[in-house]
Amino acid sequence: MAPRDLAASPAPRRPGAGNARDVVEAYGHYCRPGLVPLLSAIGLDAVYERAQGDTVWMREDGLLVPVLDLVGGYGANLFGHHHPDLVAAARRCFDEQVPFQAQASIRAGAARLAEALCRRLGDYVVTLTNSGTESVEAAIKHALLERPRPTLWAVRGAFHGKTLGSIQFTWSYREPFRGRGPHVRFLDPHDPGDWKAAAADVDSVSAILLEPVAGEGGIRRLPAAFVEWVMATCRNAGVPVIVDEIQSGMGRTGTFLAAEGLGLDPDYLCLSKSLGGGIAKIGALLVRRERFVKEFSLRHTSTFAEDDYACAIALEALRLVDRDDLPARCRARGDFLLAGLRAVQARFPDQVEDVRGFGLMVGFELRDHLDARSYSLRMLSRQGYLGYVAAAYLLKVHRVRVAPTLGDPRTLRLEPSAYVSEEALGRFIRGVEQLCALLRAEDVAAIAGPAAGLVADAPPALSVTPRPDAQEPPRTPRRVGFIGHLLLDEHVTLVDPSYRAFGREGLERYLDRTAPIVDPMVFDRIHVRSLTGEEVHLSFVGLDITSRQFARARDVKNSRWITEKIEKGVQVAREAQCSVVGFGGYTSIVTANCRRVRTNGVTLTTGNALTVGMGVAALREAARLRGIDPAASRLAVVGAAGNIASTYAVLMAPEVREVILVVRSLRSQKIPPIVAAVEAAAPGRAVRVVDDLDALAECPLIVSASNTPEPFIYPRHLGRGPVVICDISLPADVSDDVARERPDVLVVTGGVVRLPLDLEFSIGGIPLPRGHVFACMAETLLMGLEGTWKATSVGPVTVESVRHAMAMAEKHGFTVGDVGINSSASRLMGLGYAQHRRSRAG
């Protein structure tokens, strides 16, 4: 009898269950701070309040929404949630007041369950436990008692649990705990050379631990040749073969044990998960009677093990396996599911890598998108998020719950109950078919948007076609990295046009969800040539953080997560063997000009020296274009108490008639040495210090470098034109009104450099015309070309470092870009000039 399918019936409302968001926060705060942000960013932070059969109900906008559950407790839900006969068995325990705890007595439930298991499986001694990992722990301990040797064997990609002993056998999670438990040698089941080499040491091996079908490892069955070798070698040497059927057992793969079809004959057997019928926590270690070491009966015990409640449910579960012939059901439904998914694969061979399965243990593997045109698909694929985003899409759009595995993040693992209906599986098959169509269209907004509450109605009309990254393998030892970030939220649409469907606000919301979880990674890898004929190889490390997010983090004094991402970015560049790493845009600011970054073995640069130098060059060029003679003009330097502005003042002073330093407070202690430095640079030149902006009216040349968040230079502050302003602040100091209302004023940002030879150079997401780079990146390239760099580029800019950077630029043929270039670049990319100007890149 199948449990009643309640998917269509209305779910009762539970008291106090309407505040799902509070629960998410509380769970993240009190229980899983390292997991919930990831679930939330991806859209898998559902709160399930009810479960029956293959349906779970999640709370959404105050309503309970039915969802088809194909995760199935990672194999524990073979009977469906709350199977009525299992619930009845549980109820009987309470009604009959069966003791829950009666240690050191004769446990009737344990005896009955163990007997039932042995009737089915052979003559074993059964040690009952509370979980899968405990069954594995017990197996390891018994093996060490039975055959005390230094090494145990396991299989690459295996999963056996996460307690300290079992995690040593768990391939993808063991790293920080490696060597802190039993010594494990992992065998590659596909490489006979590897196992044969291992065989030389078989006498030092205590036991081998195997999953017949790796679940966490992506639904992969052990190769028959390997199994044959294991059985022959281990039997010969007396090494016990421990078979972990915690996930695959109880009929899920079409036979009671998956080992049956493989010729794998267990000396020890681990069970758990669906042994408890999905409602009791129980596991079991079965050891062949002739191998059992009697003292083990005291060497492995646990307060809750052997409880009559769990044993009664497990007994009922075993009865149901036979009564409803669950192995046959799993075979039939599994065949249906596999056939449907293989049909999807046939229609989308470009999207589906593999469909594999044994009964109702099925894997649906997506292809990677490492080289997609869409930046986001590349990023999701490279960072292992593709399967999770697919799972969130299926949940939000098709109301189906699936999950990938860490060990195999592109494979969706499907383990419904043996009672699942064909209709329900058909719904999932249609869902993945639509997923594949969206992946083929690279419509990431339609896939990832719904999880963020964003609906991208129609696929966008692509006016800009993104391209894959340039991927030139380095042909020179001169290698530099550059850490860039999104200057504006909209820039992400340059590399992923599908995001346009979100609109401005939606995009902000979307980027706010994803920024904390996306790690920096190398996008373009590209050579740049100097006029001297030398080459440098650049690895562009992209951070998915926008200027807006940097500014907000600074305002709320929460930049630590950003600094950590930057440190990871440096690490990524170092792994790409870069000796110099440049910091773009806000990354220098948030790290106090690189000083807050923990690193060793690479030289860092803010790129500020060349940015200032090129700013001076741009101001000169702008003055020439507007017919302003600097020698006859006053120069105002706004924010002159700061490092960058004062450096401008010192550099420009010799070329102008008078310098006006505009500062916030005339009493600042920083001012006298700055005035002295300006006077020393240009003896005899008039230098005035003022604290109001009215002085700007007298100045045709203005440099502005403040750290004020809002614009403060308006048309009314400026004298009659021509006037040129070099505004290098972020956000801009000059109001957009100036560009709109004052054609006699030319505002330049400087900071853009033209490369000498690589006229086609471009990096996705950076809104500059081909052949141009921001000065901070140019400085990084120059440092790479030079190999060493005399003046320091970390910390404050100095006049010497600016001069040195400009001399190197000249040597290698790097020149200032057109002074109007930022505006033309912005137009080219369909962005407003004013928006772009609010984000200086270093």
Q: What are residue 578's phi and psi, to 5 degrees?
A: -85, 135
The residue to which tokens 């779910």 are assigned: 11
Q: Which is nearer to ligand PLP, 259 or 656 (CB)?
A: 259
Side chain identity at residue 52, one-letter code: Q
Residue 354: how many other CB atoms lie within 10 Å: 17
Q: Confirm or reject binding of residue 168 to ligand PLP (CB under 6 A).
A: no
How far is residue 327's CA from residue 324's CA, in Å, rounded to a whole number? 9
Q: How far is the CB of 609 from ligand PLP (least distance, A)?
A: 55
User: By C-alpha distance, which of 123, 118, 114, 133 is closest to 311?
Assistant: 114
Contacts of 488 by beta carbon, 8 Å cutoff, 6+ apart: 546, 547, 548, 831, 835, 836, 838, 839
How far is residue 539's CA from residue 473's CA, in Å, rounded to a whole number? 10
Query: Which residue number places its CB atom closest to ligand PLP?
Result: 132
Contact by Cβ (8 Å): 481, 581: yes
Q: Confirm or reject binding of residue 703 to ligand PLP (CB under 6 A).
A: no
Contacts of 362 by beta carbon, 8 Å cutoff, 6+ apart: 219, 334, 337, 338, 341, 355, 356, 413, 414, 415
Q: How far is the CB of 159 from ligand PLP (least distance, A)?
A: 5
H helical segments located in 238-307: 296-299
Q: How far is the CB of 273 from ligand PLP (least distance, A)?
A: 6
SS3 category, 547? helix
What residues does 753 pair with on adjacent strands?
A: 773, 816
Cα 738 to Cα 488, 604, 715, 725, 746, distances in angstroms: 21, 36, 5, 10, 9
Contact by Cβ (8 Å): 706, 639: yes
- Contact mark string toward ligand PLP, 15..54, x via CB under 6 A: ----------------------------------------
Q: How far is the CB of 167 from ligand PLP (least distance, A)?
A: 10
Q: How far is the CB of 72 from ligand PLP (least distance, A)?
A: 12
How far is residue 554's CA from residue 810's CA, in Å, rounded to a whole number? 36
Rule CB under 6 A: choose which of 5, 146, 211, 524 binds ligand PLP.
211
Q: Which is nearer to ligand PLP, 283 or 639 (CB)?
A: 283
User: Stretches 17-25, 129-137, 397-405, 676-684: which one binds ligand PLP (CB under 6 A)?
Assistant: 129-137
Q: Confirm or reject binding of residue 132 to ligand PLP (CB under 6 A).
A: yes
Q: Which is nearer to ligand PLP, 72 or 474 (CB)?
A: 72
User: Stretches 127-135, 438-446, 474-482, 499-507: which one binds ligand PLP (CB under 6 A)?
Assistant: 127-135
User: Stretches 131-139, 184-192, 355-363, 507-515: which one binds ligand PLP (CB under 6 A)?
Assistant: 131-139
Q: How far is the CB of 244 from ligand PLP (least distance, A)?
A: 5
SS3 category, 820? coil
Q: Which is nearer to ligand PLP, 252 or 804 (CB)?
A: 252
Q: How far is the CB of 469 from ligand PLP (least distance, A)?
A: 37
Rule CB under 6 A: choose which of 215, 340, 359, 431 binds ligand PLP.
215
How far is residue 768's CA from residue 754's CA, in Å, rounded to a whole number? 10
Q: Which is nearer to ligand PLP, 252 or 529 (CB)?
A: 252
- Cis peptide preceding 731, ω within 30 of 0: yes
Q: How far is the CB of 211 from ligand PLP (least distance, A)?
A: 5
Rule CB under 6 A: choose which of 133, 376, 381, 514 binds ligand PLP.
133
| The two three-digit tokens of residue 679, written as one number | 């006077």
How far is residue 733's CA from residue 727's CA, in Å, rounded to a whole number? 7
Q: Confirm or reject binding of residue 159 to ligand PLP (CB under 6 A).
A: yes
Q: Which is nearer to ligand PLP, 414 or 659 (CB)?
A: 414
Q: Which is nearer to ligand PLP, 215 or 751 (CB)?
A: 215
How far is residue 159's CA from residue 154's CA, in Å, rounded to a whole number? 10
Q: Confirm or reject binding of residue 136 to ligand PLP (CB under 6 A).
A: yes
Q: How far is the CB of 269 from ligand PLP (least distance, A)?
A: 12
| The two three-digit tokens of residue 394, written as one number | 């299926």
Contact by Cβ (8 Å): 751, 775: yes
Q: Which is nearer to ligand PLP, 132 or 189 (CB)?
A: 132
How many residues in total does the chain contain? 842
Rule CB under 6 A: choose which of 40, 55, 129, 131 binds ligand PLP.
131
SS3 category, 564? helix
| The two three-digit tokens of residue 572, written as one number | 């990524």
Q: How many residues bind ligand PLP (CB under 6 A)?
A: 15
Residue 229: how many other CB atoms lie within 10 Å: 18
Q: Which is nearer to ligand PLP, 121 or 677 (CB)?
A: 121
Q: Which is nearer to ligand PLP, 137 or 544 (CB)?
A: 137
Q: Confirm or reject binding of residue 160 to ligand PLP (CB under 6 A).
A: yes
Q: Which is nearer to ligand PLP, 209 or 748 (CB)?
A: 209
How far is residue 119's CA from residue 113's CA, in Å, rounded to a whole number? 10
How far is residue 415's CA from residue 145's CA, in Å, rounded to a whole number? 35
Q: Which is nearer to ligand PLP, 117 or 604 (CB)?
A: 117
Q: Confirm or reject binding of residue 809 to ligand PLP (CB under 6 A).
A: no
| Residue 692 φ/ψ region, left for φ over 0, alpha for ψ in the -120 to 50 degree band, beta for the rest | beta
User: Stretches 117-125, 130-138, 299-307, 788-796: which one binds ligand PLP (CB under 6 A)?
Assistant: 130-138
Rule CB under 6 A: choose which of 17, 25, 49, 74 binds ligand PLP.
74
Q: How far is the CB of 209 from ligand PLP (least distance, A)?
A: 9
Rule CB under 6 A: choose which of 72, 157, 161, 359 binds ligand PLP.
161
Q: How far is the CB of 4 from ligand PLP (least distance, A)?
A: 28
Q: Which is nearer to ligand PLP, 237 or 406 (CB)?
A: 406
Kind of pairing between the strands at 752-754 and 815-816: antiparallel
Residues 246-285 contacting ligand PLP, CB under 6 A: 246-247, 272
- Cis peptide preceding 711, ω within 30 of 0: no
Q: Which is nearer to ligand PLP, 273 or 838 (CB)?
A: 273
Residue 256: how many other CB atoms lie within 10 Å: 19
- Contact mark string toward ligand PLP, 222..251, x via CB under 6 A: ----------------------x-xx----
Q: Confirm or reject binding of residue 417 to ligand PLP (CB under 6 A).
A: no
| The two three-digit tokens of residue 569, written as one number | 């970015």
Q: Which is nearer to ligand PLP, 251 or 449 (CB)?
A: 251
How far is residue 53's CA from residue 2's CA, in Å, rounded to a whole number? 8
SS3 category, 230? helix
Q: Which is nearer to ligand PLP, 247 or 411 (CB)?
A: 247
Q: How far is the CB of 136 from ligand PLP (least distance, A)?
A: 6
How far is residue 233's CA from residue 231's CA, in Å, rounded to a whole number? 6
| List of residues contacting ligand PLP (CB under 6 A) | 74, 131-133, 136, 159-161, 211, 215-216, 244, 246-247, 272
